Chains A and B, each alone.
Chain A
Amino acid sequence: MSALGRILLVEDDPNDVELTLTALEEYYLANEVIVTRDGAEALDYLYSRGAFASRSNGNPAVLLLDLKLPKIDGLEVLQQIKSDEHLRMIPVVVLTSSREERDMVASYRLGVNAYVVKPVDFHEFVNAIRELGVFWAIINEPPPGSIRKQ
């Protein structure tokens, strides 16, 4: 647990963003979260283009991906990541309100690393986000090439 991985959060709902950041604050993970508000912006970050052309190199340690997104939706982003040689190793966690089987099946088909349904209950939600953050940003050894803060 010597290093913190960077978390890329792809979420269009500002309330969810705020709740997620609040949940991560407790473990001081919030500062390492990059928030993108739709699929296009997320891909811009990953490919260091557009608004993110001048960002520091390296992939995030984990991508928290909502499915229902403006412009390019979550499944498309996932497909793009998993079909790109340089991005496919990034762990992707789908974080969604949808409990629908077809979303789950489609995500796993595309090679998602985890599928988490956002709990309605605030405590459960905070716990889930916290555990995700702790696991992927701290416990898990990210693939080589990820941005880490010593």
Chain B
Amino acid sequence: MDEASTAARRRMAWSASFSGKPVAALWPYALAVLSVSFGLGIALLFQRLGFRAGQVPLLLFAVATSSWYGGTGAAALAFLLSCLAFDYFFTEPLYSLYIVPADIPYFIVFALFAALITWFSAVRRRVERDLRQAREHLEIEVVQRTRQASLLNLTHDTIFVRDMDDVITYWNRGAEELYGWTQEQATGKDAHELLHSVFSTPIEQIRQELLRTGRWEGALHNARADGTTVMVASRWSLQRDERGRPTAILETNNDITERERRAEEIRSLNVELGKRTAQLEASNKELEAFAYSVSHDLRAPLRHMAGFSELLQKNIASQLDEKSRRYISTILEASRRMGALIDDLLSFSRIGRAEARKSMVSLGQLVEEALAEVRRDAADREIIWKIGELPSAYGDRSMLRLALVNLISNAVKFTRTRSPATIEIGPIDHDPDQLGLFIRDNGVGFDMKYRNKLFGVFQRLHAAEAFEGTGIGLATVLRIAHRHGGRAWAEGALGEGATFYFSVSKTSEYKI
């Protein structure tokens, strides 16, 4: 196709150069002069040799040659020159341009012959020109079409054309890639048979829509050469000729198998999610019922154990020995401890369940409130407080307050062996999306080895008799941080104090 296009281009350039230059316009006349001179020369030679009949055909031949190759203008010039030459050289009186009247019919017949030849050659030239133009047009068309076709071949999209009988006439590279049939294999085949197309709507309906609107779009299942099925989004456009008759259908296919599979996956995941959510809600309700019965039913026997042990102690303490009195006080202590555990566990579970009421809360003010609460229990202690400037946060006031109370009372508790104890509270700026505070103490600290255990439920790093507590306080702090889109973590060293960090999300977008 490259050769064809360069040849055509060369031809176009050639004809353009000829019609454009003035020198080129003169060559038919030169041809006429030349051919007449040539014919005349031969005629004169024939005359010298004694042949007398050759002049007219030779001059007619010169006119014909001029008209054939040089056009009507050249023919006219050749005719005029031929007449003059004939008159001058071959009619009486010789070597004179005088025409005797008897010779006039002779000239007329000559002129008619010349006109006839000129007309014939003019017709022939016109036909030839038309043919050439048609061929050039055709070649240009072919070049353009070939270019378009090769452009269509550049795309990986599947494009093919079929005629109105569904016979494939064009099949691009994308189609080869998608279906596995080569252009040679596909061209000339019935498209629907080749692809085993399965339509979601009846084909007749599709055809009607295509003829009515000129287009159709829909999903199809087609088969590849290797037998696998592919789902495609198919677009059909109808091509019509200049008289409006449908001539071909251009079809593009996009492979949506993967997309459909994903969509199906998402649908089933959504269904699964719905189920899980329902399960989760159900188990949440169960948990709530459980927490309720813990709150209600577990307390009563505990109260009775404590109450009647107390009564027992009151009634017969004087009759008991030291050991028995210790037994009773152990029972009392254990029931008190269990009560505290239940209370803490309930408040921990409430943090997970309760609706959060969000507002702007000044952490500084909350710290003040928490300090007031904690100081009551530590009135006899010598504690140096260093409180820095604290930011405001968006969150649930009572939850944040509980977190601060837990953290501060923790610091107070674990500095019990220090006098004076130093507790420092200040803002942190570790993350552009978070705000929060740190609480640093000079207490007993902890081994960083166990820092992951610090925030777990019922996790304790100290013996119960050394520092009282249920092991839920920091788990509660962590849960509150998480419900505010934040974090809680700690740093420390054994015997060298600890620093606890608590942060919440700066934005109000998080779910709490």
A interface residues (Cβ-Cβ under 8 A, vs B): 13, 15-16, 19, 22, 68, 96-101, 118-123, 125
Contact = CB atoms under 8 A, between A and B. Distances in A.
Interface of B: 291-292, 295-297, 299-300, 302-304, 306-311, 332, 335-336, 338-339, 342-343, 346, 354
A132 to B, nearest CB: 16
A110 B476 CA distance: 33
Nearest to A16: B300
Contacts of A13: 300, 304
Contact of A122 (B291, B300, B306, B346): B306
11 contacts: A13-B304, A15-B304, A15-B307, A16-B303, A97-B299, A99-B346, A120-B299, A120-B306, A120-B339, A120-B343, A125-B303
A96 to B, nearest CB: 7
Contacts of B309: 122
A68 B308 CA distance: 22
Contacts of A98: 292, 295-296
Contacts of A15: 300, 304, 307-308
Nearest to B300: A97
A22 B310 CA distance: 12
Contacts, number: 61
B343 to A, nearest CB: 8
A74 B466 CA distance: 43
Q: Is the interface of B mostly helix, strand, loop or mixed?
A: helix
Given A97-B295, A98-B295, A122-B332, 6 more contacts: A22-B311, A99-B346, A100-B292, A100-B295, A120-B302, A122-B307
A123 B306 CA distance: 9
Most buried by A among B295, B309, B346: B295
A68 B296 contact: yes
A122 B295 contact: no
Contact of A99 (B295, B297, B311): B295
Contacts of B308: 15, 19
Nearest to B304: A15
Which 9 residue pairs across A and B have the least CB separation, nearest first? A120-B339, A122-B310, A97-B299, A15-B304, A122-B307, A19-B307, A98-B296, A122-B306, A97-B296
Among B304, B309, B338, find the residue whose CB has the most chain A CB atoms closer than 10 A. B304
A97 to B, nearest CB: 4
Given A15-B308, A22-B311, A99-B346, A120 B303 contact: yes
Nearest to A96: B296
Contacts of B310: 122-123
A16 B311 CA distance: 13
A17 B310 CA distance: 16
Contacts of A97: 295-297, 299-300, 303
Contacts of A100: 291-292, 295-296
B304 A19 contact: yes
A97 B343 CA distance: 11
Contacts of A122: 303, 306-307, 309-311, 332
B339 A121 contact: yes
A85 B335 CA distance: 44
A120 B336 contact: yes
A101 B306 CA distance: 25
A17 to B, nearest CB: 11
A98 B338 CA distance: 16
Contacts of B292: 98, 100
B346 A19 contact: no
A60 B457 CA distance: 47
A118 B299 contact: yes
Contacts of B342: 120
Nearest to A98: B296
A19 B295 contact: no
A68 B296 CA distance: 8
Contacts of B302: 120
B303 A118 contact: yes
A5 to B, nearest CB: 25
Nearest to B342: A120
B48 to A, nearest CB: 141
A118 B219 CA distance: 69
A104 B336 CA distance: 24
Most buried by B among A15, A96, A121: A121
